[in-house]
Amino acid sequence: MEEYEQNSYGGVIDTIKDSIIHAYLNFPSQISKNLLPAIVSLAEVLFPDHWGSLVIFLMDYATQNNAAISPVIVLLEEMTHKYTTSSRSDPLYAEIIKVCNELHDFFKQLTSSILQSVISEPNSSAVGLL
């Protein structure tokens, strides 16, 4: 990945990352579901070293946009699936720890919000998130 930092493609890649995430989170599901594999492929190469802001951006976006919660969770699941299937290594463990630390408070807050919604309105759409 040294090439990423040393060549002019870095700016293009950053534009692609921003655009594809924006499209995934804002376009209709018929389009966004087709973008998911591309994002996961980019993340396999760039995350976390060259896309360290991805998880934090996704958490912030989902916190501000309830409609984005499900697509964000789907994307995070797809990105982290390798944690259960890849060979263990120190870099992978470091990535797992980083991601878990970043996601802990988000999922704690999300779970609390969903449960509060369900308790206050048992017929709310939050029930579907459980």
What's the whole-model pTM score? 0.80
Other CB atoms within 10 A of residue 36 CB: 16
Query: What is the reported pLDDT for 5?
Result: 56
- Better-predicted residue by pLDDT, 39 or 49: 39
CA torsion angle 49 51 53 56 (round to 10) = -100
The helix or strand, by DSSP H or E, that contains position 129, with its residue range, turns out to be none
The structure tokens listed for 21 are: 């995430």
| Number of folded domains that form the chain | 1
High-pLDDT (> 90) share of the chain, % = 43
Classify burial at 62, counting beta carbons within 10 Å of its beta carbon; exposed 0-12, middle 13-18, buried 19 or more: buried
Mean pLDDT (the chain, rounded): 86
Domain extent at residue 58: 2-129
CA dist 74 and 69 (Å) reads 9
